[in-house]
Amino acid sequence: MKLINSFGPNPRLVRMFMAEKGIELPTEELDLLAGENRKPPYTDKNPGGQMPALQLDDGTVIAETAAICEYLEETQPSPTLIGSNARERAVGRMWQRRVELNITENIYNGFRYAEGLGLFKDRMYCIPEAADGLKAKGKTSWRGSTA
């Protein structure tokens, strides 16, 4: 098993999760700025091109930070980080999804469509006119407001 890694908030989250669980894995580093994650051979393994990814010994590639962390939790359950029963896991997943939908995705895309536009415009569909609204939505949600 190996972690296909790069810099950025999502790979960092998985590395922090692994550190808390005491998991050490070999890594394969991809150059995000050069767009290695948006072209073969990486997209042959992970067509979405997201970072990071966990490649299992049988070749299966798991992408998405939540899915990677859940896999690691289930295969190495101690110490428990996601929850020790169905209720705890459900509440954790609920809050993870709320933060993702209302805060982080808005902030990520606000950056991609504004300050990061030069880097992302040829890698993904960008909506520059949405940047300010997305950033405001992420900040408003962070404060707990629904406005």
Tell me the per-residue pLDDT of 80-100, one tens digit each, with 9 for 90 and over: 999 999 999 999 999 989 988
- Confidence tier at 77 by pLDDT (50, 70, 90): very high
Residue that has been written with the tokens 């997201």 in this structure: 50
| pTM of the model as a whole | 0.83
Average pLDDT of the chain is 92
**Pairwise CA distance, residues 73 & 69, whole Å:** 6
Tell me the per-residue pLDDT of 17-61, one tens digit each, with 9 for 90 and over: 999 999 999 999 999 889 899 999 999 999 999 999 999 999 999
**Pairwise CA distance, residues 64 & 54, whole Å:** 9
**What are the start and end residues of each CATH 3.40.30.10 domain in the chain?**
2-75
Provide the pLDDT for residue 65. Answer: 94
CATH of domain 2-75: 3.40.30.10
Task: Give me the percent of the chain exceeding a pLDDT of 90.
Answer: 76
Three-class DSSP labels, the chain: CEEEECCCHHHHHHHHHHHHHCCCCCEEECCCCCCHHHCCCHHHHCCCCCCCEEECCCCCEEECHHHHHHHHHHHCCCCCCCCCCHHHHHHHHHHHHHHHHHHHHHHHHHHHCCCCHHHHCCCCCCCHHHHHHHHHHHHHHHCCCCC
Residue 147 clears pLDDT 50, i.e. is over it: no
